[in-house]
Structures are given as C-alpha cells and as structure tokens.
Amino acid sequence: MRKKIIAANWKMNMTVGETDAFLENFLLEVNDDLGVDVVIVPPFTSLAKAGERLANSSAVKLGAQNMAFQKNGAFTGEISAAMLRDLYVRYVVLGHSERRTLFGETDEIVNKKVKAAHEASLKPILCVGETLAERDANRVEEVLETQLRGSLAGLSSKELLETVIAYEPVWAIGTGRVATPEQAQAAHAFIRKTLAAIADQAVADKVRIQYGGSVKPDNAKTLLGQPDIDGALVGGASLDPRAFAEIVKAGVVTE
C-alpha cells in the first residue's frame, strides 16, 4: 500500500509573514496521525520560517521548488542541495513545466538535478506532463516516456524508490481545467508501466505518483480514489490553508 503524499507548491507566492500565518492556521486543521505525507513547498525566502513552524510536525515536511545541480561556486542567483538540507528541506520539486518552458530546463538538466538531489539525500518530486497540442496529437505516452527516461537516467532502484513522480498535464495547470479521473488514471498507469520497464515491477509498484493540475477540494477525492494516483501536487488551491487541508483530508478518506 502506497502512502498518499499531498504537496503544496506555492510557486512565486507568499511572503515570510504570509507563510507564518498560513502554517499557523493549517497546523490547526491537520493532525500528525493522518496517515498521509504532507509537503509544504514555499519559495526559497520562506523556507527558514516554514522550517521553524514545522519543526515539531512529523506529518508535514518541507520541500523546495528548484535547485542547482552544481555543488557550489560562481552561479549567481542559484541555490544548492546543501543549502536546502541546511534548512531541513526533505523534498525538492524538479522539472516543473514552468521551469521547463519558461526557464529552458531540458530532460538532461533535470536529470543532473535529480541525481544531485539524491546525492544530498533530498527526495525529488519529478514533474512530467504533456501540452494540449501533444495530447491532441495523441503523443501523451511518447512525451511521458521521453521525459521519464531522460530525467531518471542512471538512477539506482534505491534512488527510484526515493523519488516521487508528479504527472502534471500542462493544459490543466492553473487553468481550472482538471484532467478527468479516467485521463489521469490512464497516464498514471502508463507512468507506472514505464517505471517497470526502466527498473522492475517491484520498484514500479512502490513509487508514488502524484497528480497535479487544478486540484481543488471538490475534485480531490475522486482523483485520489484512482488506483494509480498516490497523491496530489497542488498549486492555486494550496495558497488557502482551509482548502489545502480539505485536499489533504481527501487523501485520508480514500486510504
């Protein structure tokens, strides 16, 4: 049985003060014994404050939205894995479609980041997903397979087991146009099949695959009830502590 993992990707939102207020409210809504892993992924500037707030929570962990693959040095504006570890970060979102399309990240770059994360004992949340044009051209499986094989190249089975995959169809991100449970389930099943081909079935059966793209309190339960959907990566709805807590609770009911 795969434990559900629900993550809040705040993107470029939330000041330090807003982070503090959010977590104060959110922690009143969720118990540590929910049986669900929860990850808060604030902007870099809020990681230290969020870490302070989450220090006593065993269910709610800290994640970062990106990192450099280089260890240190002359890389102005970049953040290393060691810097994240220093702030008690456990997860790092890598290869988000916004990084791929707006900041030119290729599968090769994402692969270097995934490897650097594992070297530093950070768990990557690797994002994959097709655009609308690719879906319309019946290229979903080809796109997912290319992204998975490229981004996960050279990982050991142990590292794959410590990796979370997030299926985020680009056309569903921030659009209010959520994938149907059937569309999402079909993509997740294909991702698991690809993981079995990359590693083996035993590994594929254990890797957690999140769905992301317009997840809201009113659609979370149905999505999380699909056999291969093991969690959610939530953008817009994760900015409201009540709404995000409802989505987390939707993960508990379907356990």
Active site residues: 96, 168
> Looking at beta carbons only, is 199 or 224 nearer to ligand 13P?
224
Q: Measuring CA to CA, how many Å separate 86 from each of 32, 66, 91, 122?
A: 23, 15, 13, 11
- Residue 212 makes contact with ligand 13P by CB under 6 A: yes
**245: number of CA atoms within 13 Å, CB side?**
14
Over the window 28 to 67, marking each residue x when it contacts ligand 13P by CB under 6 A and - when it does not, the resulting string is ----------------------------------------
In degrees, to the nearest 5, what angle opens at C-alpha 203 toward C-alphas 126 and 168? 25
> Looking at beta carbons only, is 69 or 244 nearer to ligand 13P?
244
- Residue 174 makes contact with ligand 13P by CB under 6 A: yes
> Looking at beta carbons only, is 79 or 173 nearer to ligand 13P?
173
Nearest by Cα to 240 from 18, 5, 17, 56: 18
In degrees, to the nearest 5, what angle opens at C-alpha 31 toward C-alphas 20 and 29? 50
> Looking at beta carbons only, is 11 or 49 nearer to ligand 13P?
11
- Residue 236 makes contact with ligand 13P by CB under 6 A: yes
User: Residue 107 and residue 123: Cα distance in Å, rounded?
Assistant: 18
> Looking at beta carbons only, is 69 or 167 nearer to ligand 13P?
167
The one segment of 140-148, 155-163, 198-206, 208-216 that binds ligand 13P by CB under 6 A? 208-216
Among 4, 9, 63, 111, binds ligand 13P (CB under 6 A): 9
CB of 129 to ligand 13P, least distance (A): 9
CB of 69 to ligand 13P, least distance (A): 20
User: Residue 27 and residue 243: Cα distance in Å, rounded?
Assistant: 13
* Beta strands per DSSP E along the chain: 5-9, 37-41, 60-64, 91-94, 123-128, 164-167, 209-212, 231-234
- Return all residues near 88 (Cβ < 8 A) that are at least 6 apart: 51, 54, 55, 62
- Residue 129 makes contact with ligand 13P by CB under 6 A: no
- Residue 234 makes contact with ligand 13P by CB under 6 A: yes
User: Residue 152 and residue 85: Cα distance in Å, rounded?
Assistant: 22
- Residue 235 makes contact with ligand 13P by CB under 6 A: yes
CB of 51 to ligand 13P, least distance (A): 21
Residues found near ligand 13P in the complex (CB under 6 A) = 9, 96, 168, 173-174, 212-215, 233-237
